[in-house]
Chain A
Amino acid sequence: MKAPKFNYIKAETRQQALELLDQLGEEGRILAGGQSLMPTLNMRLSQPGTLIDINKVSGLGGITLEGNVVRIGAMTRHVEVANSPIIAEHLPLIAEAMQHVAHHAVRNRGTIGGSIALADPAAEMPACVLALGATLVVESVKGRREIAAEDYFKGLYETAREANELLVEILIPVEKLGDVSVFLELAQRHGDFAMAGLACVARVSNKTFEDLRLVYFGSEDKPTLGTGAIAAVVGRTWSADCKEAAANALANDLDPMTNLQGSAAMKLHLQKVLTGRALDAAIERAGAA
């Protein structure tokens, strides 16, 4: 399995990358870490006219803390996110999720921006940025645009980013003092595509969830907020009844897809199990804090 023929341009500057994207439209594809794009090329599932390689463009990487916001450059590789003290301290949800992001060699090359731009339904970072209320910054020759994570993920590999726009930054508000987060995922082999998973951010007081966000991935066509499950839990003292109510409500929140990772029925079951585990863990972590 070899990649089909394509043209290849190594962009030297951000401006050049944006101009190429603008000129080429749908014919141009950004090559970031390549850890999802290259397999689709090798399997001939995609056939772009021109690859625009942005690996040598400066100013697209790096992690900085600016006030209450962590700014992550789109070309920041997973390994850098995983090893970042800023992420460990201010975004523990992402630090925990990183343990599930592919395998060692893939993390050395894959990028956070690539993962969010592609919006694979089984990917961890889209779920995390939705759970954390992040803002995604895209740029085109016409200028810069900020998109809330809620408005960004539209469907299967479909996002609010236009064909001439480059995802350049991810802005994530730091997790608030006193909040707890939990990230859980089930895969057939550690690091493989998720069968089911969720990102949970919660504020807990006296074993009661005061505020809660549950974002599910791996089962839906895009990261999905479990609004019914959240409503079933918030304001109630955590109990076995409460856990069951959340699981029951989840059946209306999710509409799982059957794929190679599992059937719809199994995925719904797994998401229910993970919900109970995540909320138990959140209560425990809040108690320990």
Chain B
Amino acid sequence: MNEATLEISLTVNGEQITKTVPVRQHLVDFLRNELGFTGSHLGCEHGVCGACSVRVDDAVVRGCLMLAVQADGANVVTVEGLTETGEIADLQKNFVERNAMQCGYCTPGMLITAAELLHDPKPVSREEIRGHLSGNFCRCTGYHAIVDAVETTINKRLEEG
């Protein structure tokens, strides 16, 4: 069978992009290999680890479980885009201060998943933060520092209104 391809147009980190892609290419391979947004990582490539999390039309999804062709017409944001807009600058600062990463492989996925809790911040328990991040593996930190960083960021945002 020949490699089937399709042309797609989408917005990635605010930029309009049109490209022809193999239909079997998943979204993160497209973002990394075709566009150079290497912030989205590939861990397990079957939806278990969460390292590939990206935002598609305002919802966090597994980038390895969505085909690039399915993002036709979508608004895709990666950790690079989130960094550029400053949307999670406080969360990133708290990750550094609390040492919430060691090797850093899971960090983009953690940040982009945690960002959903910060959109419209509500008081949440540590258990709820853990529940929200339960789909993202970290093999270094033991999660405690990550939960600390997310909790601190939410509380600060709630304080500042």
Contacts and interface: CB of A to CB of B under 8 A. Distances in A.
Contact of B135 (A5, A41, A43, A103): A103
Interface in B97-126: 113, 116
A42 interface: yes
B46 A39 contact: yes
Given A34-B66, A105-B113, A108-B61, A6 B4 contact: yes
A38 B67 CA distance: 8
A5 B62 CA distance: 21
A106 interface: yes
Most buried by A among B3, B47, B66: B47
A105 B66 CA distance: 11
B69 A105 contact: no
A10 interface: yes
For the residues of A in contact with B, the DSSP-based class is: loop
A38 B4 contact: no
Contacts of A10: 69, 72
B53 interface: yes
A118 interface: no
A79 interface: yes
Interface residues of A, number: 32
A214 to B, nearest CB: 26
B42 to A, nearest CB: 9
Contacts, number: 97
A42 B60 contact: no
Given A35-B47, A38-B65, A105 B23 contact: no
Contact of A106 (B2, B132, B135): B135
Contact of B45 (A1, A7, A53, A189): A1
Contacts of B48: 192
Interface of A: 1-8, 10, 31, 34-35, 38-39, 41-43, 51, 53, 55, 79, 102-106, 108-109, 189-192
